[in-house]
Structure 1
């Protein structure tokens, strides 16, 4: 029987050792990262990357860009993205949840009227941290068990947006990891 499938453009086994040990090829892990919210779209990645620091993410992006045909990298927090936004075929799903399990992930830090959080943090945890200071986010998602990065990547439209704007309108600064360097946008 002839096959129309093409060989994968790269193999996770070819990755540098420090990256390869954080690439999961486990069928169950790949299956969990293969569908979007509602299980409408399906794409099976070649691997799921479990970073424990921003440096891991930068190194993965640099490695991808060093290849003749770079692989796609799809960040995934709580997996609530729709229409295949958090999926990749022949690429790597970036499990952002692992950052919050690590000492190298970001903490939630409240400064005066602002809060500094990582993309991997859940809104419920941001709320808990701000309440300790008598504050709350002006605009928050209607479902609190979503990641900050996930909702901001979609502007953060929510039930309070009519009054305070979407979540992204209430962001003072973004810390963006591009693979070349880490940049702050204000």
Structure 2
């Protein structure tokens, strides 16, 4: 092979190696860029998964706390309700000892309102009231700042409300130890009241 031929041969191989080197470099750059991009995407995906997991934990924590608060509130309400269910007022006919003389020695029956606190704690600001359905009137029979545990009251209705033909029902308003306001109807229905006297929850039928 002549010198010129050898030179051409070497030149061709040199160019080929240069091309191969450039291709290899390009491939290496592409792989490096892909690796960097993939690593960033993987890191971003991991961060997003971590954020989602943290949000889910926070949502679960809030849900658990809300449920706990709700359960505590219900438990407190049930404890208060249990006391309210032991306070009741009603109307009944019973012999009136004061009528013995006026009736010529025979006892007459008269309407009495009765209220009793059967709970083991006092109730406060008790107001015992009677509704005359025929007249659409409400009459306050008794009021007590404190009605102690086990205390019972019996109050005769006024003579103007002794007509057997008039329908009468009773209810009791009172506050419990926590200051909650309650209304207990003669039929047993119990309702916790707000500051305006409206039921906070649906009344508890009994």
Which TM-score band (shorter chain)? under 0.3
TM-score calculated relative to the size of structure 2? 0.20
Q: Which has the larger radius of gyration?
A: 2
In proportion to residue count, which structure has more strand?
2
TM-score calculated relative to the size of structure 1? 0.22
